Structures are given as C-alpha cells and as structure tokens.
Amino acid sequence: MKSTANGETPGPVGRGVDDRGFGAASTVYVLVNDPHAARCIQRLAETHAWQIWWGKSAAYDFIAAPCFAMVLDRRLLGRDKWDLLVSLAGEANDGPDLVVDGETLDCRDVATCILVDDLRDWPVPHLPCVVSLATDNARRNEWLETSLMLAFRR
C-alpha cells in the first residue's frame, strides 16, 4: 500500500497511474480525523492492495487525486473547498468526456463519495453514489467498509 502520508516509494507507473504510482482504479482518497475509520480503511487497503491518498485539509489535493472513492470529513476540508468539489463534480458529470491524444477519458472516475460527518445542511456532489455516515452511527465502520467494497467493484 502506498501513501503520501508516509512517503513510501511509489510502484510502477502505467496507464491510469500518476508519477507517484497512484491510479484511480486502486486508490482511495481519505481526509478524516477519526482513527477508527482510518484503521478500517487501512485494513481494507492492505487486504485488497489499494493505495491510500491521505488528504491534507490545507491543500487542494482532492482535485488531482486519482481515486475510485473519496472518504471525507467535510469539516476538515472547509466550506469553500467543499463547494469547489461539488461544483467540479457537477461539471465533470454533466459535461462531455475529455479526449486527450485521441483517447477518451472518463472524467467521472470518482463515482463514490463517503461523508463521515454530521453536516446535513451542506450540498452533496452530483456523483453516482454519495453515502453519508453519521458520526454517532454505531455501525459506521461496517457501512464504510461495505460502501468502499461496492465502489471498488463498480
């Protein structure tokens, strides 16, 4: 498992993989402050050979992170960055596919956004799947694991 948080050397670079070894098909973007959720995601990543892109609340890395799912605590991202993400998701999902060097790229790699906060009055992105897991839900990690497995299999 590769992680920007611990500085491990990335694996081979190939189609759909950036220069650090992160590819949308096997990477989860994570910005959470809950150690139980982080351990749950890390365990899944180790079991399924996923990579984790540990987000930074002060950065805009969520825009460029190739991933099949995002797990976010929107409080860490902040309202301005969250509104930008919602806007970008809407544009990517409503607009035409991007063509680069004759290859059609699906700009909708991120199909799943899993929210792990209680911000019910904030907008949600226009994505195929948005899951909101309340912080006081006793089965939250079980739902988190199930949601990530479904996102990975899509």
Average pLDDT over all residues of the chain? 79
Q: What is the pLDDT of residues 68-111, one digit of tens each?
A: 999 999 999 999 999 998 988 877 655 555 555 565 545 445 67
Q: 134: left (phi > 0), else alpha (psi -120 to 50), else beta?
A: beta
pTM of the model: 0.77
Number of domains in the chain: 1
Rounded to whole angstroms, how far apart are CA atoms 138 and 146? 14
| Whole-number percent of the chain with pLDDT over 90 | 50
Q: Is residue 100, in this structure, part of any structural domain at all?
A: yes
Q: What is the pLDDT of residues 114-130, one digit of tens each?
A: 999 999 999 999 888 89
Q: What is the pLDDT of residues 20-48, one digit of tens each?
A: 556 788 899 999 999 999 999 999 999 99
Rounded to whole angstroms, how far apart are CA atoms 14 and 30? 23
List the domain range (segments joined by +) for residue 33: 27-153
> Helix 140-153 crosses helix 35-48 at what angle (to 10 degrees)?
30
Q: Domain containing 62 — which CATH number? A: 3.40.50
Q: Is residue 21, in this structure, part of any structural domain at all?
A: no
Q: For residue 103, what are the β-bridge partners?
A: 100
Q: Is residue 54, in this structure, part of any structural domain at all?
A: yes
Q: For residue 2, what are the β-bridge partners?
A: none
